[in-house]
Structure 1
Amino acid sequence: MDIRLNSRGEQQLLEHIIYENDKKEYIVLLHGIGGNSRVFFKQLKAYTKEYNVIAIHLPGHGKSAKPQDYNEPFSLKLVADEVKRLLASLKIDKAHFVGISLGSIIIHTILQNHPSIVKSAVLGGTITRFTPLSKLLINLGDLTKDVTPHMWLYRFFAWIMMPKSNHKNARSVFIKEAKKLRRDDLLAWFRIAKTVDKTHKFLEQKAKGIPRLYISGREDHLFLDPLKKDLANDQDAELIVLEQCGHVCNIEKGKEFNQASLRFLRQNSHHIHHAS
């Protein structure tokens, strides 16, 4: 297997790691706020047996451009455009996408704006809209952001989203990786997170025919109920709910996540896989 690390460079493409082998199809991994490619440590071994994998660092993470570096206002669409631009530079016309939390929001934005580049999508810990409680928490964070250390804010949100003892490992991974995030970058993401409601609007029509698998934990208490309602009549969507599992389901229930996602990806791939 050939692993190439490509950083920002002259063209300012998003930083990414390519796990390349003799496979024909690609999986693109998109992490959550404060995370990076390391949040997929339980998926990489399984995925790279059957696919080429591209792990992307979103703006403000790793060596990717910062949200403030762009010549236009930072937005979810801008990020979706940058992901498309990266794949075009790699001469990849279509790929399977796997995203967690924020990564699932970016996938929805890609499906809204660039559906032709998506073969299929696996969305973990998906956020389609905010409940009154989550809106209250975001507004509270917004009001206190100028006087509160950004890592305190991040820890606060991590604890609210992942409060149980069985969420501890996933919570710790995200907090550890988020320490590498600059204050301005974290706040830029928090600001555009408020627009999440728009990312699922009209998705069924714009991404019609593109299969999507949603995997969420039963204990994803802020986001699961709205997701279930939003997917109720979606013919292209399948929802799997993992028991005794919170928001970051790919870490908390790595084995189950891998089994479900690989089954789905194989069903939507054009080449024959040999299960491990």
Structure 2
Amino acid sequence: MLAYTTYGSDTSAPWITFIHGAGGSSAIWYKQLRYFAPKYQILLIDLRGHGASAKQPVSEKPYTFVDITADIIEVLDHLKIQKSHFVGISLGSILIFKLAQLRPDLCDKLVLGGAILQLNFRAQVLMNLGKFLKNVVPYLWLYIFFAWIIMPKKNHAPSRRLFIREAKRLREGEFIRWYKLTLNVNAELRLLRETQLQAQALFISGSEDFMFLPSVRATVQQQKSSKLVVIPNCGHVVNVEQSDIFNQLVESFLKEE
């Protein structure tokens, strides 16, 4: 089972489950933990090969989004959580989307930060470039390169440093498995974009998230139960870069009737 941590002493309070992105860990939610733990029950999960889950043996089989989502469901079932809000960032938003598709009964409200819903032409070129370089250069160099491409500005630096620090804990074989998963992500994302979410969803993106924001705008227009908030002067990792605004948006959304 994945490594996880729970917080909150009020067992009557609603659950919020936080899902990090590729290369990160549950440590990226530290600003949300301080804000939400006094009011909610919190579940932080480290995905396969990430954070505390990096110590666990991993399958040699190629990863699929169904398998990784099943890991999350296993933790929820183990804790007997029948329903939870879900908050995700970056690739974690794909997993929450997939979870809402596979087990809508588990989902209360969904918050998808820095959502990845399509790889544009530039992203596909970069991914294919990385496909050829991953056996030539150290994987961490490749990750750092992508971090700079996705988060290039000075105000993105804290997010960039955080993700690079967490990525250093990934083993090389684990990085390769996740990289291969994302190489073919567009087919999966197309199916997800065509799925009407049953749960209410709030997409929160930064105005400077130039690689992923256009597809989020297009998807939200097709989702009847979804809305988008764009944070000005903010990059991809909105929960870190503009944590106060992000937390307030999430809390207001969760309290809406």
The TM-score bracket by the shorter chain reads over 0.9
Cα distance in 1, alignment partners of residues 131 and 138 from structure 2: 12
Q: Is 2:146 aligned against 1:157?
A: yes
Cα distance in 2, alignment partners of residues 142 and 255 from structure 1: 37
- Secondary structure of the residue aligned to 1:14 is coil
Name the amino acid aligned to 1:55: L
Equivalent pairs counted in the alignment come to 256
Name the amino acid aligned to 1:143: F
Cα distance in 2, alignment partners of residues 186 and 154 from structure 1: 9
Q: 1:146 aligns with which of 114, 120, 135?
A: 135
Which residue in the other structure is 1:16 paired with?
A: 4
Cα distance in 2, alignment partners of residues 198 and 108 from structure 1: 14
On the 8 A contact 1:43/1:258 being kept in 2, the answer is: yes
Query: Aligned ranges for residues 125-274 of structure 1 at < 5 Å?
Result: 125-203=114-192, 206-267=195-256
Which residue in the other structure is 2:72 paired with?
A: 83
Name the amino acid aligned to 2:43: I
Q: Is 2:93 aligned against 1:101?
A: no
Deviates more, 1:60-69 or 1:155-164: 60-69
- Secondary structure of the residue aligned to 1:259 is helix
Cα distance in 1, alignment partners of residues 146 and 108 from structure 2: 33
- Secondary structure of the residue aligned to 1:213 is strand
Q: 1:38 aligns with which of 5, 21, 27?
A: 27
Identity of aligned residues (%): 38
Cα distance in 2, alignment partners of residues 94 and 195 from structure 1: 30
TM-fit CA distance, 1:217: 0.2
The verdict on how the C-alpha distance between 1:196 and 1:204 changes in structure 2, with shifts beyond 3 A counting, is closer
- Secondary structure of the residue aligned to 2:146 is helix
TM-fit CA distance, 1:198: 3.9
Which residue in the other structure is 1:7 paired with?
A: none
TM-score, structure 2 normalization: 0.94
TM-fit CA distance, 1:224: 0.4
Q: 2:63 aligns with which of 71, 74, 81?
A: 74
Name the amino acid aligned to 2:8: E
On the 8 A contact 1:14/1:65 being kept in 2, the answer is: no
- Secondary structure of the residue aligned to 1:127 is coil
TM-fit CA distance, 1:20: 2.5
TM-fit CA distance, 1:70: 3.0
Which residue in the other structure is 2:51 paired with?
A: 62
- Secondary structure of the residue aligned to 1:112 is helix
RMSD: 1.8
TM-fit CA distance, 1:206: 4.8
TM-score, structure 1 normalization: 0.88
Which residue in the other structure is 1:119 paired with?
A: 108
TM-fit CA distance, 1:62: 2.4
The verdict on how the C-alpha distance between 1:65 and 1:207 changes in structure 2, with shifts beyond 3 A counting, is farther
TM-fit CA distance, 1:111: 1.5
Provide structure 1 residue ranges, at least 5 long, that are not aligned to the other structure: 1-12, 269-276
On the 8 A contact 1:216/1:242 being kept in 2, the answer is: yes
